[in-house]
Structure 1
Amino acid sequence: MKDPYGLSKASIPISYAHLLLEIMVEKGFSASEILHQSKIPLTLFNQLDARITPIQWSRLAWVSLTLAQDLGLGYQYGLKLRLTAHGPMGYALMSSPSLRYAIELATQFFNMRLKDYKIDFYEETQRSIIEIKQTHPVISQHHEQAETLRRFFYECLMIGVVQTAQSLAEHDFSNVELQVDWPEPPYHEKFRHQLPRILFNQAKNQVCYPSSIIDLPTKMADQTAFQQALAQCEAEQIRFSEQIQDIILRVKTELLLVPQKGYPSLETVAQRLHMSSRTLRRHLNLTGVSYLALLDEIKYQEAKKLLFNSDMEIQEIALYLGYIQPANFARAFKKWSGMTPIQFREKKQKI
């Protein structure tokens, strides 16, 4: 199945999911039950640098919204969003010389935290504007669910942006204004006193600051700490965009068949890639795939080629691919293709 938006690739830091679970636990709900309903492994939450897929994040948000019966959950999330949830980027924001530096840094590195949204920053005569855009629509079979999730994600982000600025600089932020493209929801009145002014039914989703605010120094400005955090951001960006993204190709390159013996183990591949098996497994988890899934893909491709282009008997092909029992090969092939090897070969011969 095609995945044009990369929704099945792990790209969202686990820290964002931690915060949502924290809010739900404070409301009296069970974290383990929410994770179970969201189909997210509990083990991921014990890995500091783990990431979840956009599909898992959407499912977690929807389960939480449904259980809480509180559509103001996006406001609550944004109001509680801590700088430390942003990892190295959060520490760089804290030590930035000014709000302007912090905003420009966020626009540069935001895509490595939430690739499904884009931040633009520009200035007008008396206003400085942060505009947030989706890089693709929220995917759901139900229009109402998609709209609810879309609003939830935007609320988390936009309120979170304002909270970040307030925690960075000493200033009265009462003249900050949010513009959003959806109508005023029923729960807005409940949170009005905690929020900046919000204009509904606007053309774009923007956070608007008076220009005088943008060049305010931050409370924890520290040039040395800023440079160190910036270097960590750059390292994370390289690791995420290159090493993690390319790890699938690198593993596939090492999955070479030794006839009658089969394919190398995860431990062998990890050794060839000069890393531990634990590190390789973690890198693959970050892309949303497993070693076994990649191995099945390679085996399936090789099996199809042998069934279609050779005169080898089914039993010979099974042994060639490393299956001691031909029945195990037949079961595996049916799982991959929905057909037995014999049915596949007969169908190809009729074409």
Structure 2
Amino acid sequence: MRVEDFHKPLVPATYVVMSLDLAAERGVARDVILRDIVLPEPLLAHSEARVSLLTYGRIVARSLRLTGDAALGFAFGLRSSLTAHGLLGLGLMSQATLRDALTFGAQYFVPLRFPGFELGIRPLRHEGGERWIGLQETLPYGPLRQYAFDVLAVGFTHVLELALGRDEYTLCLQRPEPADFARFAGQLPTIRFDSEVNRIRVPAEALERPLPAANAMTAQLVRQQCDHDLALLGFRGDEPARVRALLYDSGSEGYPGVEQAAARLFMSVRTLKRRLHQHGLSYRVLVQEARFRKSQRMLRNTDLSVGEIATRLGYRSPANFTRAFRNWAGVSPGAYRKGDGAD
């Protein structure tokens, strides 16, 4: 992850709502927190909306300062249950073992929900019966560093408690103990403050414990969607992968022009064209590729006529679509539907 990623809309708007609610419960009104922060109200009501790390950082920093609550990260972590994370929470719960859930968390949950952090599992030195889950920042969070660690560490207790009792693991945090931490004592495991590093200690054998809601098919479906989301946000692959991920979801409303695509990928048209050219591609070629793949899916999986498919893909006539499809597949759409064409 790069410093310029602070400007990308990576943080779910639901996190903004949760932060504003926590501040309001502590006597600081929403409009006070959002003063001079441009954040359209409809954005907060959209489940898939995101804001930039910089914008969210301003909201959190102001919440910490105005509420005076040094343990605000603990409160946020406790409130962010697995179900609050939607598809990602389902992905965590559907893994076969605790180790699988933590691996899924490192690969998908952390970059999609806590960008700028890494999570890893390592053996503890001189303590062979335990493992520690290391938390490390990859971007400079500055004064919000410990808040972010608090949220991430406490948030992951929801994952650990799928297989562990609260007395079986320990949170180790570099921060000093907050003055009124006793209010959280009954909701959290043992926490060792003033630790050398931020980490979570767990029994080694616990990593292989099965999870009660394990489901291999669900886990695979969630993983595929997460791969798509990572590519779209620029955390996986190169520009062609990002454009393909963008176009995959665009067919129903028409494919965006290169100007719209560049804006949604946070770069100039010139930069997008140059980076695609470096791979021997153009935006037009990728749109054609997306249309071909979309047409294949519709011919195989729907009863739509060739004319209806042509219209949905943005062709002016069925003849234009048929000609383009024949160039791609070597057969007509009708022949492909009957099984005469190859993938």
TM-score by length of 2: 0.65
Aligned residue among 213, 216, 222 for 2:215: 222
Q: How many residues align?
A: 258
Residue 161 of structure 1 pairs with residue 161 of structure 2: no
2:72 aligned partner: 73
The question of 1:152 aligning with 2:147 is answered yes
Residue 26 (structure 1) shift:
4.0
- Residue type of the partner of 2:141? V
> Residue deviations 1:216-243, cap 9 Å, x none?
2222112221121121111212222279
User: In structure 2, what is the Cα distance between the partners aligned to 1:214 and 1:70?
Assistant: 34
Q: Distance in 2 between matches of 1:195 and 1:243?
A: 34
Code of the residue aligned with 2:171 in structure 1: it is: L
SS in 2 for 1:7: helix
User: Which among 124, 134, 138 is matched to residue 135 of structure 1?
Assistant: 138
Q: Which runs of 5+ in 1 are unaligned?
A: 140-145, 251-269, 298-351
Equivalent in the alignment of 1:314: none
SS, match of residue 119 in structure 1 = strand
CA distance in 2, matches of 1:48, 1:219: 27
Q: What's the secondary structure of 1:198's corresponding residue?
A: strand
Pair 182,286 (structure 1): closer, same or farther in 2 beyond 3 Å: farther
Structure 1 residues 280 and 174, CA gap change in structure 2 (3 angstroms): farther
Distance (whole Å) between structure 2 residues aligned to residue 286 and residue 56 of structure 1: 18
Query: Are residues 99 and 137 of structure 1, via their aligned partners in 2, closer, same or farther at CA, if it must alter by over 3 Å?
Result: same
1:122 aligned residue: 122
Aligned to 1:181: 174
Identity of aligned residues (%): 24
Contact in 1 for aligned 2:119/2:134 (Cα 8 Å): yes
1:245, 1:37 → 2: CA distance?
A: 36
Q: For residues 235 and 150 of structure 2, what CA distance do their matches in structure 1 show? A: 31
1:20 paired with 2:19, answer: yes
**Does the 8 A contact of 1:98 with 1:218 survive in 2?**
yes
1:84–1:239 distance in 2 versus 1, CA, 3 Å: farther
- Quote the offset at 1:51 in angstroms: 1.8
Instruction: After superposition, give the CA deviation of every residue in 1:271-291 in whole Å (9 maximum; x if it has no partner).
Output: 9x96258x948x84674x8xx
What is the Cα-based RMSD across aligned positions, in Å? 3.4
Hey, what's the Cα distance between the residues in 1 that align with 2:112 and 2:238? 12
Distance 2:168 2:236 in 1: 43
Does the Cα contact within 8 Å between 1:120 and 1:132 map onto a contact in 2? yes
**Quick one: which of 255, 271, 275 aligns to 1:275?**
255
Residue 193 of structure 1: which of 182, 186, 191 is its match?
186
CA apart distance, 1:100: 1.0
> Which whole-Å CA distance do the structure 2 matches of 1:162 and 1:30 have between them?
29
Q: Is the 8 A contact 2:82 2:158 kept in 1?
A: no
Q: Distance in 2 between matches of 1:232 and 1:65?
A: 34
Q: What SS does the corresponding residue of 1:203 show, helix, strand or coil?
A: coil
Change beyond 3 A, Cα 1:72–1:38: farther
What SS is found at the alignment partner of 2:5? coil
**How far 1:59 moved relative to its partner?**
0.7
What CA distance in whole angstroms lies between the structure 2 residues aligned with 1:227 and 1:214? 20
Comparing 185-194 with 221-230, greater Cα deviation is found at 185-194
1:275 counterpart letter in structure 2: Y
User: In structure 2, what is the equivalent of residue 346 of structure 1?
Assistant: none
Higher RCO structure, 1 or 2 (CA under 8 Å, sep 6+): 1
Q: CA offsets, 1:122-177, max 9 Å, x none?
A: 234211221111113224xxxxxx1xx222111111011112322x33x4221311
Q: 1:20 to 1:194 in 2, by over 3 A?
A: same
**Do 2:23 and 2:30's aligned partners in 1 also have CA atoms closer than 8 Å?**
yes
Partner of 2:328: none
Are the counterparts in 2 of residues 18 and 45 from structure 1 also a CA contact under 8 Å?
A: yes
* Structure 1 residue 44 corresponds to structure 2 residue 37: no
Q: 1:194 to 1:8 in 2, by over 3 A?
A: same
Give, in whole Å, the separation in 2 of the partners of 1:190 and 1:115.
Answer: 29
Could you say which structure has the larger radius of gyration? 1
| In structure 2, distance between residues paired with 1:275 and 1:39 | 29
Q: Deviations over 1:247-267 (max 9, x none)?
A: 9x98xxxxxxxxxxxxxxxxx
Give yes or no for contact 1:95–1:225 (8 Å, CA) kept in 2.
Answer: yes
Equivalent residue for 2:275?
Answer: none
* Structure-1 residue corresponding to 2:287: none
1:243, 1:93 → 2: CA distance?
20
8 Å Cα contact 1:11-1:286 kept in structure 2: no
Deviations 1:100-133 (A, max 9, x none): 1100111111223322111112234211221111
Paired residues of 2:8 and 2:52 also in contact (CA < 8 A) = yes
Give the match's secondary structure for 1:71: coil
Runs of at least 5 residues in structure 2 that lack an aligned partner in the other structure = 244-249, 272-343
Measured in 1, the distance between the counterparts of 2:237 and 2:10 equals 10
Post-superposition offset of 1:189: 3.2
The amino acid across from 1:117 in the alignment is F
Q: Which residue of 2 aligns with 1:55?
A: 54
- Aligned mates of 1:38, 1:192 — CA distance in 2: 35
Task: Decide which moves more: 179-188 or 21-30.
Answer: 21-30
Q: Shift of residue 36 of structure 1?
A: 3.5
